């Protein structure tokens, strides 16, 4: 499969676009009864043309009436070359100018001018018409485009027009066949014997029978998911279509669950969003400045939505200027950085239509901005200037900050194929700009964000030691709550700090390398009290005091008693059993008596256990559960038996 080409018409109503397509291709693109009756194009029409070089191209015929600009925009998106149609007997008209602006805003870079109805004027008027067109094209992307006089009646110039189209497409950039599948749907219908069919220009990727696809954002935000049953290009069944081709796709999806404006994607690869960071070019034909929080019509691909404009680098945008903005859409759309869009208003502008301007998407799936801070503006400008995939990937990973970003989420933020992104990531990882911390998700974090997390972990452990000098270290879960909620990211942080010998992770605690609770000055100062606490609990045997009771008995502060108990528990002198504390010697003695009793009798009742302990239920029950947990005993109903060893 070779990368396809698509050309499209543009121009004022009744200048002969549809008739010209018919003369070039033999296909009548006006298929609706209303179009036949009224003699005007209302909906998009499609044909295909074989050029002199043998290249077969798709042809999109657009409506010329100002009321159908939405359809015109949908048709112009994705074309490689525009045929601007101007009638020799009328010259440049309002929709000529508006369509020309729209094509420029959508990034169309190549074109040919077809001066139609050339047989209806004499040579002098023809020359005047060509001069008028040339003057209109000054400063536009069509300034150097050939102007070809032609007539559908006599056949004048049709071969020359085909040759000019062929020449214009020779060095046109190709769409990415390895990119993520994106097919903006411009038509949905049911075909007898086949079922649901959608058509569109394949923006990127490939599509073939058997593929699992989704239509986003979905009717009522519920994406339609199904399989591709068949693919056609230029009216013939093919094994698969590739980026740049006009494509018809037969889907195993109900007709009513699809609509024009949705985008066909491979299931799970892309998602729709409502927030777009963009650069807007505001046309000089606009009557007034574009204000912050203005409401506009947003056109991208084959979709339209209402949008609220938040200007980021100026309080307003004057006609003829450009600026950074965030657009909040009233319905989600599938877009990637670099995609072009059109903005239209609700009042007619000077000389042509309601088109206000357009621009390019800089960033998608981001956060809402209330204003443009210097840091935000610097980031957006850096994204704009990013010269290649590696730079853009680096910016996105760094911008994700300490949360990191998954590989799938990263792919949705960069306009490059997975193969190119993987190559860029490999280079960035080799340069230690990016680190992978979760193989399952392919999650990534920038080196600066990782450094920040490492410093945060060091600060947290240092502060913990200062607050609790008698603790062996900071509990790992407590550290995770302070540093990062991601277990695997915390593992990367601790692993990195351990390699640098900056932290020590032992079992469930983390400490600084030089920290030893038993040798600390706090422990040394607490040693005399700890000895008294140990004697108190040794004498209490199996009826130990609570902390507050121990503080009264020893005439000491309850906090200091707690610290002493913690120190003795870590050293093994005392043992915590739920909310009680026992001397280890007392527990060891009880365990020995219990094993002896069970060995002799085989089991022990609750009353017998209480008598063996020699204490009330307050102590007997926690102790019984303690020995269960130690796997000394096994509870069977109300009885306890010796576990087999």
Average pLDDT over every residue of 8-19: 86
Q: Copy the structure tokens of residue 215.
A: 């239509």
Q: Read out DSSP for 225-263?
A: EEEEEEEEETTEEES-EETT-EEEEEESS-GGG--TT-E
User: In CATH, which superfamily holds the domain spanning 273-377?
Assistant: Translation factors (2.40.30.10)
State the pLDDT at residue 193.
85
pLDDT of residue 93 exceeding 70, the answer is yes
pLDDT of residue 132 exceeding 50, the answer is yes
Question: Which comes out higher in pLDDT, residue 220 or 233?
Answer: 233
State the pLDDT at residue 559.
80
Same fold, 273-377 and 585-642: no
Going from N- to C-terminal start, the domains of the chain cover 6-169, 183-266, 273-377, 378-444, 585-642
Average pLDDT over every residue of 225-253: 91
pLDDT of 425-449, one tens digit each?
999 999 999 999 988 888 999 999 9
Which CATH fold would you assign to the domain 183-266? Elongation Factor Tu (Ef-tu); domain 3 (2.40.30)
pLDDT of 180-221, one tens digit each?
999 999 889 998 888 999 999 899 999 999 999 999 998 766
Q: How confident is the model at residue 387 (pLDDT cuts 50, 70, 90)?
A: confident
Alpha helices in 484-581 (DSSP H): 487-499, 521-540, 547-554, 558-571
Number of other CB atoms surrounding residue 33 within 10 Å: 8
* CATH number of this structure's domain 6-169: 3.40.50.300
pLDDT of residue 37 exceeding 60, the answer is no
Q: Copy the structure tokens of residue 239.
A: 């094994």
Of these ranges, 3-12, 29-38, 489-498, the one predicted with the greatest mean pLDDT is 489-498
* Choice among 267-276, 391-400, 559-568, 585-594 with the minimum mean pLDDT: 559-568
pLDDT of residue 243 exceeding 70, the answer is yes
Residue 260 · residue 185 · CB < 8 Å: yes
State the pLDDT at residue 31.
53
Task: Out of 3.90.550.10, 1.10.540.10, 1.10.10.10, 3.40.50.620, select the CATH number for domain 585-642.
Answer: 1.10.10.10
Candidates 269, 259, 237; CA nearest to 185 is 259
State the pLDDT at residue 234.
84
Residue 215: strand, helix, or coil: strand
pTM exceeding the 0.95 threshold for the entire prediction: no
If you count DSSP H runs as helices and E runs as strands, how many of each does the chain have, helices first?
A: 19, 34
State the pLDDT at residue 38.
46
State the pLDDT at residue 352.
58
Q: How confident is the model at residue 36 (pLDDT cuts 50, 70, 90)?
A: very low
Question: Which comes out higher in pLDDT, residue 609 or 327?
Answer: 327
- Share the mean pLDDT of the chain: 87
State the pLDDT at residue 220.
66
In percent, the amount of the chain with pLDDT more than 70 equals 92
State the pLDDT at residue 350.
59
Q: How confident is the model at residue 66 (pLDDT cuts 50, 70, 90)?
A: low
State the pLDDT at residue 150.
95
pLDDT of 564-588, one tens digit each?
777 777 777 888 888 888 999 989 9
pLDDT of residue 424 exceeding 90, the answer is yes
* Choice among 59-73, 199-213, 317-331, 523-537 with the minimum mean pLDDT: 59-73
* Choice among 3-17, 53-67, 83-97, 377-391 with the minimum mean pLDDT: 53-67
> DSSP code of 507?
T
Q: What end-to-end distance do the CA atoms of the chain give, in Å?
A: 70
């Amino acid at each position: 499969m070779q990368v396809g080409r698509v050309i499209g018409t543009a121009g004022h109503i009744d200048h002969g676009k549809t008739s010209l397509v018919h003369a070039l291709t033999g296909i009548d693109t006006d298929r609706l009864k209303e179009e036949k009756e009224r003699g005007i194009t209302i909906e998009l029409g499609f044909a295909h043309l074989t050029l002199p070089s043998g290249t077969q191209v798709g042809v999109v015929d657009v409506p010329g009436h100002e009321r159908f600009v939405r359809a015109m925009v949908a048709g112009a998106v994705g074309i490689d070359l525009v045929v601007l149609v101007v009638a020799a007997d009328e010259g440049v008209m309002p929709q000529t100018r508006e369509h020309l602006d729209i094509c420029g805003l959508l990034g169309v870079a190549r074109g040919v001018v077809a001066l139609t109805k050339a047989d209806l004027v004499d040579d002098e008027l023809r020359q005047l018409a060509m001069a008028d067109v040339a003057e209109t094209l000054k400063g536009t992307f069509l300034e150097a485009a050939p102007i070809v006089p032609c007539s559908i009646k006599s056949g004048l110039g049709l071969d020359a027009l085909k040759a000019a189209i062929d020449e214009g497409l020779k060095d046109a950039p190709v769409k990415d066949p390895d990119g993520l599948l994106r097919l903006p749907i411009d038509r949905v219908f049911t075909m007898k014997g086949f079922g649901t069919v959608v058509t569109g220009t394949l923006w990127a990727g490939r599509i073939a029978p058997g593929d699992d696809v989704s239509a986003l954002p979905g009717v009522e935000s519920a994406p339609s998911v199904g399989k591709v049953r068949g693919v056609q290009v230029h009216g013939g069944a093919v094994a698969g279509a590739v980026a740049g081709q006009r494509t018809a796709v037969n889907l195993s999806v109900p007709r009513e669950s699809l609509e024009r404006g949705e985008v066909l994607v491979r299931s799970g690869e892309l998602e729709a969003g409502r927030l777009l960071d963009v650069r807007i070019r505001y046309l000089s034909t606009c009557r007034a400045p574009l204000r912050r929080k203005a409401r506009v019509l947003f056109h991208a691909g084959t979709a339209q939505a209402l949008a609220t404009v938040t200007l980021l680098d100026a309080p307003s945008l004057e006609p003829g200027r450009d600026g950074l903005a965030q657009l909040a859409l009233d319905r989600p759309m599938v877009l990637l950085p670099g995609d072009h869009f059109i903005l239209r208003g609700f009042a007619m502008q000077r000389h042509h239509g309601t088109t206000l301007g357009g621009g390019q998407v800089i960033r998608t799936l981001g956060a809402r901005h209330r204003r443009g801070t210097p840091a935000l503006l610097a980031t957006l400008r850096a994204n704009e200037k990013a010269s290649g995939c590696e730079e853009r990937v680096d910016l996105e990973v760094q911008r994700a900050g300490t949360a990191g970003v998954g590989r799938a989420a990263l792919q949705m933020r960069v306009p490059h194929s997975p193969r190119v992104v993987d190559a860029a990531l490999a280079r960035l990882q080799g340069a230690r700009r990016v680190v992978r911390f979760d193989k399952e998700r392919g999650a990534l974090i920038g080196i600066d964000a990782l450094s920040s997390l490492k410093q945060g972990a060091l600060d947290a452990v240092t502060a913990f030691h200062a607050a609790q000098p008698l603790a062996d270290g900071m509990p790992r879960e407590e550290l995770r709550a302070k540093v990062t909620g991601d277990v695997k990211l915390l593992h990367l942080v601790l692993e990195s700090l351990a390699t640098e010998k900056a932290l020590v992770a032992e079992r469930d605690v983390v400490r600084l390398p030089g920290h030893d609770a038993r040798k600390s000055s706090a422990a040394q100062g607490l040693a005399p009290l700890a000895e008294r606490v140990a004697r108190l609990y040794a004498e209490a045997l199996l009826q130990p005091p609570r902390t507050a009771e121990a503080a009264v008995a020893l005439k000491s502060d309850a906090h200091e008693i707690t610290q002493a108990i913690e120190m003795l528990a870590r050293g093994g002198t005392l043992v915590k059993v739920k909310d009680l504390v026992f001397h280890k010697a007392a527990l060891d003695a009880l365990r020995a008596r219990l094993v002896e009793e069970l060995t002799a009798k085989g089991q022990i009742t609750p009353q017998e256990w209480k008598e063996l302990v020699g204490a009330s239920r307050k102590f007997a029950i926690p102790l019984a559960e303690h020995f269960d947990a130690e796997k000394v005993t096994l509870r069977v109903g109300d009885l306890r038996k010796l576990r087999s060893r």
